[in-house]
Structure 1
């Protein structure tokens, strides 16, 4: 590492912001060279270090240290792979499925047959399930549990209503029993959704309201299955539409920022939330 004998006059002004420290000089042994620089005074001046009356580049110290420390230290550290956030993907598919099912249950424009939507429920459920599996990679246990479970829900809901799976044919002789079994099925999802809703009370208002309206959706559909009440089914449909709206809002907040859009929205945190 060669000392720099001369530095431009601009370094005179750089000394105004220099950092100075006194260094204790080790006693010199008789065998040591007497030509080494005087280390009684060390100054940091811009990209240079002044040791005694000689200037050295800071980068020379770094390179010398790496060379002396061996090949294992000079090699660059492995770069950690960055993972994308799987939350927007799960919210996109979930909100779409929830909106279509809510519109059908609410009898919007006189629609009562869900047959054409069943295949999309299976496809959409696969995307939600994928989002839950990807949440495992980023260490998000909550999203992994919620999206993984609801991915299975949408797939199973589509299978229940498709003739190819033979569920309706199995209960052809006793349709009321099928409605009771469907009510038990929805009751289980009501309990599960309530638990994850309680666990979202320190997230954002969008996520919490999504799960709150979804829990009311399951409850109304459960009651409708047991009582065959059209009003209960329609109420469940409207709560499902509200849940999907909260999902759309949370989705937009997750992907919209000042670098990507002129209209960013804020994901408002719940009281006492630590992470938004």
Structure 2
């Protein structure tokens, strides 16, 4: 360029929401199936791998792309829950390798803190769409059940949470690629 001025063009990126929801759904599903005692405990290593790479890393990336799209709700949700999965995976690896012991009170504190976060994100979901309200309502109930120590009931609720998140992810994909509403998500009244 003659005047050494570079023109920066704003790039458009695809909606990262369906990816973030898919990451959240799959990882929630596999852990919830274990919590519901539908698979043996040996499934834990597969669940940890999902948590670290899909639920964690890929979901954090979706959160960063939500920042790029100026979506504060999506950015906060995906980045935070992605970090939840990475930290959960780290705790599980540490326990398996006997690096450290997480006392029950510390595990409960971890869950209660995430319940508080999920509660205010649940309130924020009322400004999005009905499908996300369902996902966050179910997730809040799942965390409360975990806080109460009812892992089997939390597992079943988590499975339903994952199905709702997969539905919402699929809606984001189908409605975009087909250019029409294939799976409705229902706008919230503002």
Aligned-pair CA distance for 1:108: 0.9
Aligned residue runs from structure 1 range 90-239, under 5 A: 90-109=20-39, 111-113=40-42, 114-124=44-54, 125-163=56-94, 168-171=98-101, 178-224=103-149, 232-239=150-157
Question: Highest relative contact order (Cα 8 Å, sep 6+), 1 or 2?
Answer: 2
Matches within 5 A, 1:31-70: none
| Contact 1:213–1:239 (Cα < 8 Å) also in 2 | yes
* 1:145–1:263 Cα change, 3 Å: closer
Calculate the aligned-residue CA RMSD, in Å: 2.3
Larger relative strand fraction: 1
CA contact (8 A) 2:94 2:100 kept: no
- Cα offset, 1:97, TM superposition: 0.4
TM-score by length of structure 1 reads 0.61
- Residue in structure 1 matched with residue 169 of structure 2 by the alignment: 251
> Compared with structure 1, are the counterparts of its residues 182 and 258 closer, same or farther at alpha carbon in structure 2 (3 Å cutoff)?
closer
| Structure showing the higher helix proportion among its residues | 2
Cα-to-partner distance string for 1:51-87 (whole Å, 9 max, x where unaligned): xxxxxxxxxxxxxxxxxxxxxxxxxx97542121111
Matched, 1:268 2:170: no
TM-score, normalised via structure 2 length: 0.87
Q: Which runs of 5+ in 1 are unaligned?
A: 1-76, 172-176, 225-231
Deviations 1:82-129 (A, max 9, x none): 1211111101111100111111100114x2342331122100110010
Whole-angstrom CA distance in 2 between matches of 1:267 and 1:164: 40
